[in-house]
Amino acid sequence: MRRHVLPWRTTSPREEQIRFIGEWQEGRLNFTWLCRKYGISRKTGYKRVHRFREHGWRGLEDPSRAPRHHPNQTAESTVELLLDARRTNPAWGPKKLLPWLQERNPDLQHWPAPSTVAQMLKRAGLAKSRRPNRRSAPWRTTVSSDHPNDVWTVDFKGWFRTQDGQRCDPLSLLDSASRYLLVCSNLPKPTGPYVKDSLEDAFRQFGLPLALRSDNGTPFASNTLGGLSKLTVWCIKLGVLPQRIRPGHPEENGSHERFHRTLKAETAHPPQSTWDKQQQVFAAFKDHYNQERPHEALGQRTPSSQYHRSDRSFPSTIPEIDYNPSYEVR
């Protein structure tokens, strides 16, 4: 009974190929049986012989199975554009970087997918691992925010100190539909008169919204009957409906809460040396946020491309409201 010789498995691939070529040169076995001995097909055997004839013993080293040409490989110039954009905007992810660069480089036709960009940033040490965000509950409002100037949202980011020890209380005012940043400024104090001045400036510049959404803290609310503060009454006189989120539910103003994380990351880490310089950073951020920064909720368009001024102008005179004598307004 004819016995089949098992292939040689205890040597390295290159050593096995050297043995194969050695036995092929000796000619003791016909080519079919020689290939069977080494557990390869005749086609593979002929390839080994061809490489040996072309390149000698060096030709027996297995060439890389990776393709020599990568048709989908991102051009180095495009990679550099992406990395430079990330360094300029360290808080932006792939979904913001790509449309921002595509708009500024219309001649470039081939762009990598966001997942590929994420890997590029990671390899370059420009990506940080992030904990997954918890889903926020949907807003419950009496006025929809489908169009610009339907609902504006207002809030304080939370105070911090500049490097010289001065307290900063940043007030931000956003249009809910377009994400347009209407106000982003330091206030001397987080009190009603200063907030009213900021709101009045915005009302005069952009017109009046239908509603103003806020939390239940001062100066937007009070502990009087109905929770009306002087600031709230002033808004009502102007025809701006106050909307309050439920106490202990900041997720009902979720878009503004997420904005504050962006504001903190890009303007207050680290704080500026003085109060005035911090305000300059806020002003530059406001312009960049509205004019340059793509927004995922807007289909990667900028807030300025989606916002327009309200048709309701700030009135020349503010009508008075007659109250029941039992009501107390603070």
pLDDT the model gives residue 7:
45
The Cβ of residue 187 has, within 10 Å, a number of other Cβ atoms equal to 18
pLDDT higher than 50, residue 255: yes
Which of 65-79, 171-185, 189-203 shows the lowest per-residue confidence on average (mean pLDDT)? 65-79
pLDDT higher than 60, residue 266: yes
Tell me the C-alpha distance between 312 and 51, whole Å. Answer: 81
pLDDT the model gives residue 329:
54
93: nearest Cα among 321, 262, 207: 262
Dump pLDDT digits (tens) for 1-34.
Answer: 454 444 444 566 777 888 888 888 888 888 888 8
Alpha-helix residue ranges (DSSP H) falling in the chain: 13-26, 31-37, 42-55, 76-88, 94-104, 114-123, 192-206, 230-237, 254-267, 275-291, 303-306
- At position 81, the amino acid (one-letter code) is L
Cis peptide before 138 (omega within 30 of 0): no
Q: What's the farthest any 2 CA atoms get from each other in the chain?
A: 118
Apex 70 CA angle, 69 and 74, nearest 5: 135
Dump pLDDT digits (tens) for 210-251.
Answer: 999 887 777 877 766 567 788 888 999 999 998 877 766 666
CA 248 to mean position of chain CA atoms: 27
Report the run of H or E that residue 212 belongs to, with start and end.
strand 211-214
The Cβ of residue 240 has, within 10 Å, a number of other Cβ atoms equal to 19
β-sheet bridge partners, residue 135: none
Dump pLDDT digits (tens) for 310-321.
Answer: 999 999 887 666
Dump pLDDT digits (tens) for 76-103.
Answer: 788 888 888 888 888 888 888 888 888 8
Please provide residue 177's backbone torsions phi and psi, each rounded to the nearest 5 degrees.
Answer: -75, -45
Distances from the Cα of 155 to the Cα of 84, 85, 183, angstroms: 33, 30, 10
DSSP one-letter code for 10:
S
pLDDT the model gives residue 111:
87
Write the burial class of residue 154 (CB in 10 Å: 0-12 exposed, 13-18 middle, 19+ buried). Answer: buried
Q: Are strands 211-214 and 241-244 parallel, antiparallel or unpaired?
A: parallel
DSSP 264-317: HHHHSSSPPSSHHHHHHHHHHHHHHHHHT--BGGGTSB-HHHH----SSPPPSS
pLDDT higher than 60, residue 323: no
pTM of the model: 0.58
- At position 254, the amino acid (one-letter code) is G
Residue 173 in contact with residue 202, Cβ under 8 Å?
yes
pLDDT band with cut points at 50, 70 and 90 for residue 67: low
Please provide residue 160's backbone torsions phi and psi, each rounded to the nearest 5 degrees.
Answer: -150, 175
pLDDT band with cut points at 50, 70 and 90 for residue 130: low
262: nearest Cα among 289, 280, 302, 222: 289
SS3 call for 151: strand
The overall average pLDDT reported for the chain is: 80
Q: What average pLDDT does this structure show over 293-301?
A: 86
